[in-house]
C-alpha cells in the first residue's frame, strides 16, 4: 500500500483541524489546552485510507499544524516531511497573514503538490464564495498550486458539503506523488517523545527515507546514543517495519524520555556524522523586511530541528536584497545531522518572521576558498555522478573512503559504487581498496614523492635515504594512499625502499674525504675497543668534522648495523657483540646458568657494561633471566 503524508497549512481558525476530523474522524487536537482554548498549539496527527480509480489503496497520514503566528516554529517541525499539502483558506475571511507565511514556507521547502481548500463554505453565500475564489486564484498564480495544476475545492466541515469532491481530488493528487525511497538510508526526525504504559519510551516522526525494522540498532543524533527498536507502529497499528513516507512510532530500548527530544534524528548506527557547518543555496523572500547582511544571526529550521545560526555569505557580497539568492555557510552553535538535499527555513532573529530558506548542498564543507562557489554550483546543478567526482577531487591525493562518502552524501554504499564505476573505468578516479582518489592528484603526488626524496638526498648526503613516515608526513596524505602510491613508484623503479628508508634508485651515501676518514676512525675505535667501548661523545670529539655531520655518520653506521646501540649511552661494534654471543653460548657446555659476577669474570667488563650487555643478550634470546641469574638458551 502506498503511503503519503498530507500536511495542512493556513491561518489560525480557518478550520484545518476541523477539516482533518471531517475527513478522517480523528480529532488531531490532543492537548487539553488546545481543547480548552479551541486552537491548535502543537502538531496533531490523523490517518485515513483512500481508493484510487484502479482500485489501489492509498494510506494518507495527516500532519495538522498550528496556524497562529506564535506557533509557526511548531508548524515548521511538522511540514518538513509532507508529500501533499492542503492549503486551508476560510471562505469568510479569505487570505490572511499566516496564509501568506505558511505558503511561503511550503514553496521554500520545495513542496510540489497540493490542493487549495476553501473551508466554511456554509458561512458565506455563493457570490462571496466566487469572490474569494477569484482572490485565491490570483494569489496562487505562478505557483505549484495555480488552478491549471491544482483545483480549488470548497467544503464545509460542519455540513459535509464538498468532502467527497475533496477526497476524489486528494486521491488523484496522491496517486501522482512519487513514493519516497525505502531503500535509502533511514532517517526519522523526531517530533514527539513520550512514555507509554507497558512499553516505555516512544518517539514519533515522519520517516523521510529508508526502512526501520524491529530490533534495528539506531543512533540518536546529535548525541550519539545507541538505541534498539523494540517495536514499530505505522499509523497507530503494530508492524514489522516502517518505510519511507509513513508516520512512524518507535518503541525504543536504551534511552529514556530525558535522553530524547524533538529536533533529534534517528539513523542507522555508525553511518553519519554531525556537523556544525553547512554550505547552502539560500533564497531570500521578496517579502523579507530588509537586506540580509553577512554574519547575521537567524533562526534555522530543518526537519524537526530548530536553532539559532550565523550566516556567512560566500563570494564578494556582504549582503543580499529581498528576492535575491546566494550561496552561504550556516554555522550552528551545536552539532546537528544535516545532509545534502535537506530543505530548511530561515526566520529573522528579531522580530521573528520567515525571511527565506533553501537547500543544504554540503554538510562537510572545507575551508572557505575563492573556488567554493564553483564547487557549490556543481553540487546544485550537476548530475549525481559528477557530484561524487567533485567530492573525491576536492580531497586531492589524500582521497576519501567510501564510508566517508556515505556520511557526506547520505547515499547508500551501493549507489556510490554505481555512480563512481564510470569514472574508475575511465581512469578519472583511482580506487585503492576502500579509498578513492582523484587521478590527476595521484599523478602529482607521484611526482612530488620523487622530488621530495631528491631534495632530501641533496640536503642530507650522509643519510642513505628518507624515512617513510617522514616522507608521508611531509606530503600530508592518508597512510593507505601513501603506501599504494609508493608501491607503484617502486614497481616502476622510480624509487627504492630499503627497510624504513626511501631513496632514489642506485643512490648511496656521498661522503667528502674528511667524512670518509671520520667514518673509518669511528668504526676502528669501536672495533679495537671490544667490549670496553669508549663513550661515543669522546670519539666524536676527536674527529675533523663538526658534531652534526659526525652524528649523521654514526647514524649511518647504526643503520648499516656496523655499530649496535644497546642502551642510551653504550654503542658496540657488531664484531664484538658477535664474539660475545659465541663466548656465552660456548659456556653452556660447562654450566647452563650464570649470574652477573660470573659474566663479569667471563668477559672482563665492569658492572657498568655487564648489566646492559646481559639485557641485550636477553633481547637477542641468547639468554633468559631467571631471578638474579641468566639461563643460556
Under the banding of pLDDT at 50, 70 and 90, the label for residue 165 is very high
pLDDT digits (tens, 9 = 90+) for 28-64: 765 555 445 555 556 788 889 888 766 778 888 888 8
Where is average pLDDT lowest: 155-159, 539-543, 615-619? 539-543
Question: Which CATH architecture group holds 2-176?
Answer: 3-Layer(aba) Sandwich (3.40)
- Going by pLDDT thresholds of 50, 70 and 90, the confidence category of residue 325 is very high
Work out the mean pLDDT of the chain and round it to a whole number. Answer: 88
Q: Is the pLDDT of residue 386 over 80?
A: yes
- Across 52-56, 141-145, 166-170, 386-390, least confident range: 52-56
Percentage with pLDDT > 70 across the chain: 94
DSSP secondary structure, 47-114, as one string: EEEEE-TTS-EEEEEEEE---SGGGHHHHHHHHTT-SEEEEEEETTT-S-HHHHHHHHHHHHTT---E
CA dist., res. 395 & res. 170, Å (int): 47
H-only helix segments in 460-509: 468-475, 479-491
**What's the rounded mean pLDDT across residues 414-422?**
94
Looking at per-residue pLDDT, the higher value among 534 and 321 belongs to 321
How far apart (Å, rounded) are the C-alpha atoms in residues 500 and 487? 13
Mean predicted confidence (pLDDT) in 89-97? 94
Range 36-60 burial, b when 16+ CB lie within 10 A, else e:
eeebbbbbbbbbbebeeeeeeebbb
Q: At what angle do helices 596-603 and 574-587 cross, to 10 degrees?
A: 120
Residues 6+ apart with CB under 8 A from 602: 583, 584, 587, 594
How confident is the model at residue 71, as a pLDDT?
56
Q: Which residue has the higher pLDDT, 463 or 328?
A: 328
C-alpha dist (Å) from residue 231 to 192, 199, 227, 616: 16, 9, 12, 63
The packing angle between helices 413-425 and 384-394, to 10°, is: 80
Closest Cα to residue 249, out of 196, 289, 308, 298? 196
Pairing, β 571-573 against β 265-268: unpaired
Domain 188-268, CATH: 2.40.30.10
Section 298-316 average pLDDT: 93
How far is Cα of residue 204 from the mean position of the Cα atoms in its chain?
Answer: 24
Asked if the 513-632 domain carries CATH number 1.10.10.10, the reply is: yes
Peptide bond into 222 cis (omega under 30): yes
pLDDT of residue 34: 44
Report phi then psi at 190, rounded to 5.
-85, 130
Tell me if domain 2-176 and domain 188-268 are identical in fold: no
pLDDT more than 90, % of the chain: 51
Does domain 382-510 correspond to CATH entry 1.10.10.10?
yes
Residue ranges covered by each domain of the chain: 2-176, 188-268, 275-373, 382-510, 513-632
Q: Is 311:318 a contact under the CB 8 Å cutoff? A: no
- Rounded average pLDDT over 89-101: 93
The tens digit of pLDDT for each residue in 191-228 reads 889 998 878 899 999 999 999 999 999 999 999 999 99
Q: What mean pLDDT do residues 438-445 have?
A: 93
Asked if CATH classification 3.40.50.2300 holds for the domain at 275-373, the reply, yes or no, is no
In this predicted structure, the answer to whether residue 548 has a pLDDT above a threshold of 80 is no
Q: Which residues contact 469 (CB under 8 A, 6 or more apart)?
A: 500
Alpha-carbon distance of 571 to 414, in angstroms, equals: 57
**pLDDT confidence of residue 118:** 96
**Mean pLDDT of the 354-365 span:** 94
Amino acid at each position: 500500500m502506498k503511503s503519503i503524508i498530507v500536511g495542512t497549512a493556513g491561518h489560525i481558525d480557518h478550520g484545518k483541524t476541523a477539516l482533518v476530523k471531517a475527513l478522517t474522524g480523528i480529532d488531531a487536537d490532543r492537548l487539553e489546552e488546545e481543547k480548552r482554548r479551541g486552537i491548535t498549539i502543537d502538531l496533531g496527527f490523523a490517518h485515513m485510507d483512500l481508493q484510487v480509480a484502479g482500485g489501489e489503496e492509498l494510506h494518507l497520514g495527516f500532519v495538522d499544524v498550528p496556524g497562529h503566528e506564535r506557533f509557526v516554529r511548531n508548524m515548521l517541525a511538522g511540514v518538513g516531511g509532507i508529500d501533499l499539502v492542503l492549503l486551508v483558506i476560510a471562505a469568510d475571511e479569505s487570505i490572511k497573514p499566516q496564509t501568506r507565511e505558511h505558503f511561503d514556507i511550503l514553496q521554500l521547502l520545495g513542496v510540489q503538490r497540493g490542493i487549495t481548500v476553501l473551508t466554511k463554505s456554509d458561512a458565506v453565500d455563493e457570490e462571496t464564495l466566487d469572490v474569494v475564489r477569484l482572490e485565491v486564484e490570483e494569489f496562487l498564480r505562478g505557483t505549484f498550486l495555480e488552478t491549471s495544476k491544482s483545483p480549488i475545492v470548497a467544503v464545509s466541515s460542519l455540513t459535509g458539503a464538498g468532502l467527497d469532491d475533496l477526497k476524489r481530488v486528494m486521491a488523484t493528487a496522491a496517486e501522482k506523488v512519487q513514493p519516497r525511497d525505502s531503500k535509502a538510508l533511514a532517517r526519522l526526525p523526531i517530533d514527539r517523545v513520550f512514555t507509554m504504559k507497558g512499553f516505555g519510551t516512544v518517539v514519533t516522526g515522519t520517516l523521510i527515507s529508508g526502512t526501520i525494522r524491529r530490533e534495528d540498532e539506531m543512533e540518536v543524533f546529535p548525541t550519539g546514543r545507541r538505541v534498539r527498536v523494540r517495536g514499530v507502529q505505522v499509523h497507530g497499528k503494530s508492524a514489522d517495519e516502517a518505510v519511507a513516507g509513513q508516520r512512524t512510532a518507535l518503541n525504543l530500548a536504551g534511552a529514556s524520555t530525558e535522553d530524547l527530544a524533538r529536533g533529534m534524528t534517528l539513523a542507522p548506527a555508525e553511518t553519519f556524522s554531525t556537523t556544525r557547518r553547512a554550505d547552502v543555496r539560500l533564497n531570500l523572500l521578496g517579502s523579507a523586511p530588509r537586506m540580509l547582511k553577512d554574519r547575521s544571526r537567524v533562526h534555522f529550521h530543518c526537519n524537526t530541528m530548530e536553532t539559532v545560526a550565523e550566516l556567512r555569505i560566500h563570494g564578494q557580497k556582504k549582503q543580499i536584497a529581498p528576492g535575491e539568492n546566494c550561496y552561504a555557510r550556516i554555522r550552528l552553535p551545536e552539532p546537528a545531522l544535516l545532509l545534502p538535499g535537506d530543505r530548511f527555513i530561515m526566520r529573522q532573529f528579531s522580530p521573528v518572521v520567515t525571511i527565506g530558506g533553501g537547500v543544504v548542498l554540503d554538510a562537510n564543507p572545507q575551508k572557505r576558498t575563492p573556488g567554493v562557489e564553483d564547487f557549490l554550483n556543481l553540487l546544485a546543478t550537476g548530475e549525481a555522478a559528477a557530484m561524487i567526482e567533485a567530492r573525491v577531487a576536492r580531497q586531492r591525493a589524500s582521497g576519501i573512503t567510501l564510508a566517508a562518502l556515505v556520511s557526506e552524501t547520505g547515499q547508500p554504499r551501493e549507489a556510490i559504487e554505481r555512480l563512481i564505476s564510470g569514472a574508475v573505468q575511465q581512469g578519472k578516479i583511482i580506487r585503492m581498496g576502500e579509498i578513492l582518489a582523484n587521478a590527476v592528484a595521484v599523478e602529482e603526488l607521484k611526482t612530488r614523492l620523487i622530488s621530495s626524496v631528491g631534495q632530501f638526498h641533496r640536503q642530507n648526503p650522509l643519510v642513505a635515504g628518507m624515512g617513510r613516515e617522514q616522507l608521508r608526513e611531509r606530503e600530508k596524505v592518508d597512510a593507505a594512499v601513501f603506501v599504494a602510491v609508493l608501491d607503484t613508484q617502486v614497481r616502476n623503479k622510480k624509487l627504492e625502499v630499503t627497510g624504513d628508508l626511501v631513496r632514489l634508485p642506485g643512490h648511496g651515501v656521498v661522503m667528502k674525504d674528511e667524512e670518509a676518514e671520520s667514518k673509518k676512525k669511528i668504526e676502528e675505535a669501536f672495533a679495537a675497543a671490544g667490549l670496553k667501548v669508549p663513550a661515543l661523545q669522546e670519539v666524536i670529539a676527536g674527529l675533523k668534522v663538526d658534531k652534526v655531520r659526525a652524528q649523521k655518520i654514526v647514524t649511518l653506521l647504526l643503520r648499516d648495523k656496523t655499530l649496535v646501540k644497546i642502551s642510551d649511552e653504550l654503542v658496540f661494534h657488531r664484531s664484538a657483540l658477535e664474539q660475545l654471543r659465541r663466548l656465552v653460548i660456548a659456556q653452556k657446555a660447562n654450566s647452563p646458568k650464570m649470574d652477573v659476577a660470573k659474566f663479569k669474570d667471563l668477559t672482563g667488563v665492569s658492572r657498568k657494561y655487564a648489566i646492559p650487555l646481559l639485557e641485550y643478550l636477553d633481547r637477542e634470546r641468547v639468554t633468559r633471566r631467571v631471578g638474579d641469574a641468566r639461563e643460556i638458551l
